[in-house]
């Protein structure tokens, strides 16, 4: 019983807090425990005794989800052979495949995919098996999911696609797999950010190179008018900024607030970045929408060394 209560509590990591879908008998709870432990023998005995493989517990979880989470392939196969629903979803829309991927059970996840698990199913948050596999860098699963028809451009509720996540993580192999499968370089999240924005903001130099080589627009702007260069400068990613400039980025582009890359770097107190941008021709005297130039911003924010340097220009 204690283990069951613990598993229900852990289930909150995956499924929303809702009332139990049905009261469970001791035998049904034992099936969940056995599935979670990967005790194939106990699972067989309980199923033979009449416990349904389709039993659903609190939050809509099933024994198959627990078996997938634990990664015991034999138990997964036994449950499926006994009629477990491969496509059953918990209360936040996750299937057994989600549980396997989330727990890093690559072999089990691959088996579920080969067994016919739906690859384009979405959770309430808009996550898909592909987005989970991409976030964790499981290249084998990414390739298998794409081969089975997973949509490379499926976005979550924030508009984030697997490509954006791979770019942010600096996972070039995942980026290549996704783009080769047709992922759109120009898609935007709900803030208008593209994969190049994500890569530049995270300082993923090799991904920035690759995206530009494959058609990403260097001065693409998000909903705030920010270019990848502005985001890179704000984070102090000098090498990334250099690549963007060398590929034609506008060093004095202003976003909707009048911020240039140099102003963005100043706001973050990044002296080295400001100096480098100035050496590349960035205008020091440009003012933002509030009428403040970089010097005024540095003084206001207490960046004394940066203010002294700007004053001397």
- So what's the pLDDT on residue 92? 93
Tens of pLDDT along 251-296?
999 999 999 999 999 999 999 999 999 999 999 999 999 999 999 9
Is residue 147 domain-resident? yes
Dihedral sign for Cα 281, 286, 289, 295, please. Answer: positive
Q: Are residues 258 and 183 in the same domain?
A: no
Q: For residue 212, tell me if it sits in a domain.
A: no
Could you read off the pLDDT of 153-162 as tens digits, one per residue? 999 999 999 9
**Tens digit of pLDDT for each residue in 46-59?**
999 999 999 999 88
Q: Tell me what pLDDT residue 58 has.
A: 86
Give pTM, 2 decimals.
0.90
User: What local confidence, expressed as pLDDT, does residue 4 receive?
Assistant: 45
Same domain (yes/no): 156, 166: yes
Which residues does 269 contact at the CB level (< 8 Å), separation at least 6?
Answer: 298, 301, 303, 306
Residue pointed to by tokens 């480098």: 276
Q: Alpha carbon 51 to chain centroid distance?
A: 38
CA–CA distance, 209 with 200 (Å, rounded to integer)? 10
The closest alpha carbon to 207, from 248, 165, 147, belongs to 165
The structure tokens listed for 250 are 């506008």
Examine the domain organization and report whether 29 and 110 are in the same domain. yes
Q: What angle do CA 14, 113, 82 make, to 5 degrees?
A: 80
Among 94, 118, 142, which residue terminates a domain? 118
- pLDDT reading at 99 higher than 70: yes
Contacts of 210 (CB under 8 A, 6+ apart): 172, 175, 176
**Shared-domain flag, residues 126 and 110:** no
Residues 86 and 148 in one domain: no
**Per-residue three-class SS string for 230-276:** HHHHHHCCHHHHHHHHHCCCCCCCCCCCCCCHHHHHHHCCCHHHHHH
Same domain, 41 and 101: yes
Q: Which of 91, 118, 145 is the last residue of a domain?
A: 118
- Give the HSE-up count for residue 262: Cα atoms under 13 Å, Cβ half-sphere: 27
In a domain, 99, yes or no: yes
CATH number, residue 157: 1.25.40.20
Nearest residue to 8 via CA among 40, 45, 37, 33: 33
Whether 107 and 157 map to the same domain: the answer is: no
Shared domain check, 98 and 30: yes
> Tens of pLDDT along 231-257?
999 999 999 999 999 999 999 999 999
Query: What is the domain range of residue 291?
Result: 218-312
Same domain, 257 and 289: yes
Examine the domain organization and report whether 82 and 157 are in the same domain.
Answer: no
* 9 domain-assigned: no
Q: Give the pair of three-digit tokens for residue 203.
A: 């300082």
Q: Is residue 14 part of a domain?
A: no
Task: Point out the domain boundary residue: 118, 138, 157.
Answer: 118
59 and 109, same domain (yes or no): yes
272 found inside a domain: yes
Q: Please indicate, yes or no, if residue 83 is contained in any of the structural domains.
A: yes
* Ranges of H-type helices in the chain: 2-11, 26-37, 40-48, 63-70, 73-81, 96-102, 106-114, 129-135, 139-147, 162-169, 172-180, 195-201, 205-213, 228-235, 238-246, 261-267, 271-279, 294-301, 304-311
Whether 256 maps to a domain, the answer reads yes
| Confidence (pLDDT) at 9 | 44
Please indicate, yes or no, whether residues 66 and 113 belong to a single structural domain of this protein. Answer: yes
Number of domains in the chain: 3
């Amino acid at each position: 019983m204690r283990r069951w209560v613990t598993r229900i509590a852990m289930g909150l990591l995956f499924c929303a807090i809702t009332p139990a879908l049905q009261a469970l008998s001791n035998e049904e709870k034992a099936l969940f425990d056995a599935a979670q432990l990967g005790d194939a023998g106990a699972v067989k005995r309980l199923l033979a005794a009449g416990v349904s493989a389709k039993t659903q517990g609190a939050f809509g979880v099933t024994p198959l989800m627990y078996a997938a989470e634990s990664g015991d392939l034999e138990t997964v196969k036994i449950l499926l052979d006994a009629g477990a629903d491969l496509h059953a979803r918990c209360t936040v829309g996750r299937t057994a495949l989600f549980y396997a991927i989330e727990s890093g059970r690559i072999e089990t996840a691959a088996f579920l995919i080969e067994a016919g698990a739906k690859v384009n199913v979405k959770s309430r948050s808009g996550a898909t098996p592909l987005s989970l596999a991409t976030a964790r860098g499981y290249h084998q699963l990414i390739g298998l999911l794409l081969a089975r028809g997973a949509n490379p451009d499926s976005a979550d509720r924030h508009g984030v696609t697997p490509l954006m996540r791979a770019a942010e993580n600096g996972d070039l192999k995942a980026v290549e797999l996704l783009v080769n499968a047709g992922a759109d370089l120009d898609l935007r999240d709900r803030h208008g950010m593209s994969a190049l924005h994500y890569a530049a903001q995270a300082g993923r130099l090799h991904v920035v190179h690759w995206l530009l080589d494959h058609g990403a627009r260097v001065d693409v702007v998000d909903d705030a008018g920010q270019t990848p260069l502005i985001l890179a400068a704000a984070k102090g990613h000098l090498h990334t900024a250099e690549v963007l400039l060398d590929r034609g980025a506008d060093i004095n582009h202003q976003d909707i607030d009048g911020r240039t890359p140099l102003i963005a770097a100043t706001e973050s107190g990044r002296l080295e970045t400001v100096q480098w941008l100035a050496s590349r021709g960035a205008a020091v005297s440009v003012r933002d929408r509030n009428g403040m130039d970089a010097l005024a911003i540095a003084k206001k924010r207490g960046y004394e060394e940066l203010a002294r340097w700007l004053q001397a220009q």
